[in-house]
Amino acid sequence: MDIYYFSEKHYGNTMAWGKAREDVEQIFEHNNFRKLNESIISNKNSKKFDYFIKSMKSILKVKKALKKAKGETIFLQYPFMREKIMKKNFIKLMDQNKVILFIHDLTGFRYNDTDRLNEELRILKKASVIIVHNKYMQQKLSKYGITEDRMISLELFDYLLSTAEINNNIHLENGVAFAGNLDKSEFLESWVGLKRSYKINLFGKNTVTTFKGSKVSYLGSFSPEDIATNIIGGFGLVWDGNSIKGAKGDLGEYLKINNPHKLSLYIASGMPVMVWKESAVASFVIKHGIGFAISNLNDIDQIITNITEKEYKKMTGNVMKIRREVLAGAFTNNAIIKAIN
C-alpha cells in the first residue's frame, strides 16, 4: 500500500519554514512515503512580481495534485501554510481520503482566540487520525468533540541532525541556557534581574531588548542545525509567558498542552532541562530523569547550588539515552506507524 504526504516548503528562506516541519517531512521520505505534490511557497521578502508568479504557480500545482487523490492514505502537517487560500481544497481532500494530520501548533489555544479555535476544530474533525503532542492535548481536544481513539500521542518532537557530534559546552558550571524568540519571551527581563549565583546564556532572535543583569550573556542566533552543537549551558530552560512565578498568560497556559520544540533542541544538544511543573512535558522530564520541574524561576539557584556532580552526570547520561531516539526520529516513526495501523 502506498502512503502519501503533502509537501509545503518556503521559497527563498527555508529557515522560516520551521525545523520541526522539515524533520517530519524527512522522516516521511525515509519511510518511502510518496510525495503527493511539491508546493513552492514564495518568500514575501522577494520582489512582488516574483512573489505573485511563484504563489500562483504553487497554488495551481497544489489544486491539481489534490484533485487526483481519492481513497488514499495521506499525511498532512498542520497548520497548513496556505490555509486561507487552500482550505476548501484541503477539506475536500479529507472527505475523499484517509488523512492523518500531524499537529505542530494550535494557535486558537495558543492565543486564546475562540474564532480561530473553532476554525481549527472544523478542520481537525475532518481528519481520520490526528497525531497530537501528548496525552494532555489529546484530553483537551476530546472535550471539543474529537474522540480519543482518533488521536495518537507523539510524546516528544524529534530533532534530526546531519551529524551526531557531541556538544562539548554542556557543563553544570555553564549555568542555564534559554533559546528561542527572545523578543516575545516576556519573562526574560524579570528573570535576568534576579539575584542569583548561576550564569544565564541567551540564544535566538533579539531585535528590541538589551538584557541588564549580572552574569547574563546574549550569544547570538544560530540555525537549528548549528544551535545544537553551539549552545552553552548546564541546563536548558523551557518557559513562556509573562511571569517568573509560574508560566502565566496565554502562552504560559499553552504549555499545559504543548510540546515546545526547544525541549527537543536541548535534548539533541545533550543538555538536561528545567521546565514548568504544570507544563505538559514535566511528566516526561521527571519520568526519564532528564531534569527538574519547577514552579518558579527563583527555584533554579537552590537547585544548581545543591546538585552534586554525580547527580548531574547521571542526569546527562539519561539525556543521552533520549538523545539517541530523538536524533533517529524514533518518536515520529512510532506515531506514524500507529496512525497508519
Write the CA distances from 155 to 143, 245, 258, integer angstroms. Answer: 20, 26, 10
pLDDT at 65: 67
pLDDT at 71: 83
Q: What span, in angstroms and rounded, lies between the C-alpha atoms of 196 and 12?
A: 43
Q: Report which of 165, 153, 160, 227 is spatially closest to residue 26, judged by C-alpha positions.
A: 160
- Report the chain (341 residues): mean pLDDT per 10 consecutive residues: 82 60 96 80 55 62 70 92 77 91 96 96 96 98 96 98 92 97 91 95 82 86 94 97 89 94 98 98 98 97 97 98 98 97 89
Question: The C-alpha cell of 211 is what?
Answer: 538584557
| Cα dihedral sign, 247-152-272-232 | negative
- Report the DSSP beta bridge partners of residue 35: 5
Q: Degrees (nearest 5) of the Cα angle 153, 159, 160?
A: 125
Query: 236, 181 in Cβ contact below 8 A?
Result: no
Whole-prediction pTM value?
Answer: 0.92
Torsion angle, CA of 114/151/92/1, rounded to 10 degrees? 160
pLDDT at 39: 56
